[in-house]
């Protein structure tokens, strides 16, 4: 299973005998090496890597564009992020943004800036992850840029996607009394990060120790191998439910519902007892002495979809496993609140919610 592979990779320094210096290839050799096995999958991709620009035919649809920049030491930590996972996650995070517009991700470009600390084999791993995600989501890698950095690794992924003109879903179009729904479960990626950080500290104190990741497979997988919820869009289309507004949860439920509220000029009420939290996340939260609601509200990087639907669509949604109604939109004068198990109303804030309350 995937998580076993993680255990082997974690905290393992690159083996010396398996190292090809980037200087042996030069920029063009490197690009050629990393992209030589790419096969174009989508009919809309007319030209991929190898010219001054990629060429894409979008017929009469809307083009969606989303970009992310990841910096070593800021957005990822090389001590516990295997490069294959980093590549996978970098791609998936961008697919998730396209999907949150009710679109289909179709192409990515990948720009990297690397220091000579990285070997060819390391970058191959990064591209293995990127291309694995592209394979799974039927996306073409059509270009990028490659430069040297003075230190560390920078990766920028730009995703292109498409959506029919009458199907695009924005953040600012929720209506009063709409129901707030979320896919999957929340807080897992955050708990995974907490555990990886804990083991990193233990490892720094005693490099001979073996990381203790027993029982944390689920949350570590949520952190290191997230998925974008393309399946949810298919389900919604299948039952003919169109979200009125949608966003993907990258910063945490509290921050991301605020975006919908602010942009739609509405308030909302979310209910603590409705927040979907997996058993393993609950257990991990307990180990760290935080409430699972805190993990669900403030933990980011779950890449679940947060969307609003009309009340009329409730019966349809209710029957779907893996989608939970967690609250409703209301008049802006009522504010943005979490209703706790005890019936208290706590104002939600983009950050620092847990400073109000920590069990």
Q: Binding residues for Mg ion, per CB under 5 A?
A: 145
Instruction: Measure Cα distances from 71 to 29, 55, 76, 210 in Å.
Output: 24, 28, 7, 27
Mask of contacts with ligand ADP, 4-43, x by CB under 6 A? ---------------------------x--xx--------
* 149 lines the binding site for ligand ADP (CB under 6 A): no
Q: Which of 17, 52, 60, 273 binds ligand ADP (CB under 6 A)?
A: 52
Residue indicated by tokens 């990841």: 70
**31/169 with CB nearer Mg ion:** 31
* 103 lines the binding site for ligand ADP (CB under 6 A): no
Tell the smallest beta-carbon distance from residue 113 to ligand ADP (Å).
Answer: 9
How far, in Å, CA of 358 to CA of 299, rounded?
Answer: 14
Q: Which of 129, 144, 187, 192 binds ligand ADP (CB under 6 A)?
A: 144
Task: State the DSSP code for 322.
Answer: T
How far, in Å, CA of 98 to CA of 79, rounded?
Answer: 30
Q: What pairs with residue 45 in β-bridges?
A: 56
**145/344 with CB nearer ligand ADP:** 145
Task: State the DSSP code for 24.
Answer: G
Mask of contacts with ligand ADP, 229-268, x by CB under 6 A? ----------------------------------------
* 91 lines the binding site for ligand ADP (CB under 6 A): no
How far, in Å, CA of 320 to CA of 317, rounded?
Answer: 5
Instruction: Measure Cα distances from 252 to 44, 93, 218, 326, 350 in Å.
Output: 34, 14, 18, 14, 8
The residue number whose beta carbon is nearest to ligand ADP equals 143
How far, in Å, CA of 16 to CA of 11, rounded?
Answer: 15
- Give the interface segment with ligand ADP, choosing from 140-148, 158-166, 203-211, 306-314 (CB under 6 A): 140-148
What are the E-state strand segments in 263-311?
267-271, 305-309
Among residues 249, 266, 287, the alpha carbon closest in space to that of 334 is found at 266
* 110 lines the binding site for ligand ADP (CB under 6 A): yes
Backbone angles phi, psi at 336, to 5 degrees: -115, 115
Q: Which of 98, 99, 100, 112 binds ligand ADP (CB under 6 A)?
A: 112
Tell the smallest beta-carbon distance from residue 24 to ligand ADP (Å).
Answer: 17
Choosing among Mg ion, ligand ADP, none, which partner's interface includes residue 161 (Cβ < 5 to 8 Å by kind)?
none
**SS3 at position 314:** helix
Binding site for ligand ADP (CB under 6 A): 31, 34-35, 49-52, 110, 112, 143-146
């Amino acid at each position: 299973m995937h998580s076993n592979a993680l255990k082997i990779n974690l905290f393992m320094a690159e083996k010396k005998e398996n190292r090809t210096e980037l200087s042996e290839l030069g920029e063009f050799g490197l690009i050629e090496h990393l992209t030589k096995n790419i096969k174009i999958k989508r009919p809309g991709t007319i030209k991929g890597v190898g010219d001054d620009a990629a060429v894409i035919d979008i017929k009469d649809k809307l083009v969606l564009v989303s970009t992310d920049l990841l910096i070593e030491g800021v957005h990822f930590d090389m001590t516990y992020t295997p490069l294959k996972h980093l590549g996978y996650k970098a791609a998936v995070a961008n697919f998730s943004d396209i999907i949150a517009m009710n679109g289909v991700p179709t192409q990515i470009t990948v720009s990297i800036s690397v220091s000579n600390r990285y070997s060819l084999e390391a970058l191959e791993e990064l591209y293995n992850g990127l291309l694995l995600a592209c394979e799974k989501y039927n996306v073409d890698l059509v270009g990028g840029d490659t430069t040297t950095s003075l230190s560390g690794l920078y990766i920028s992924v730009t995703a292109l996607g498409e959506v029919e003109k009458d199907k695009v879903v924005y953040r600012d179009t929720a209506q009063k009394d709409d129901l707030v729904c979320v896919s999957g479960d929340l807080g897992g990626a955050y708990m995974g990060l907490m555990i990886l950080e804990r083991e990193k500290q233990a490892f720094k104190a005693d490099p001979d120790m073996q990381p203790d990741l027993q029982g944390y497979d689920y949350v570590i997988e949520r952190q290191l191998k997230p998925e974008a919820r393309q399946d949810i869009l298919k389900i919604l289309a299948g039952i003919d439910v169109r979200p009125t507004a949608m966003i993907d949860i990258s910063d945490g439920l509290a921050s991301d519902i605020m975006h919908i509220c602010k942009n739609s000029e509405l308030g909302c009420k979310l209910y603590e007892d409705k927040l979907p939290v997996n058993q393993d996340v609950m257990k991990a939260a307990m180990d760290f002495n935080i409430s699972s609601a805190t993990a669900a509200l403030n933990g980011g990087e779950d890449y679940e979809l947060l969307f609003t639907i009309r009340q009329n669509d409730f019966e349809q949604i209710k029957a779907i496993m893996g989608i939970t109604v967690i609250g409703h939109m209301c008049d802006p004068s009522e504010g943005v609140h979490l209703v706790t198990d005890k019936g208290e109303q706590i104002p939600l804030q983009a950050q620092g919610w847990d400073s109000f309350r920590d069990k």
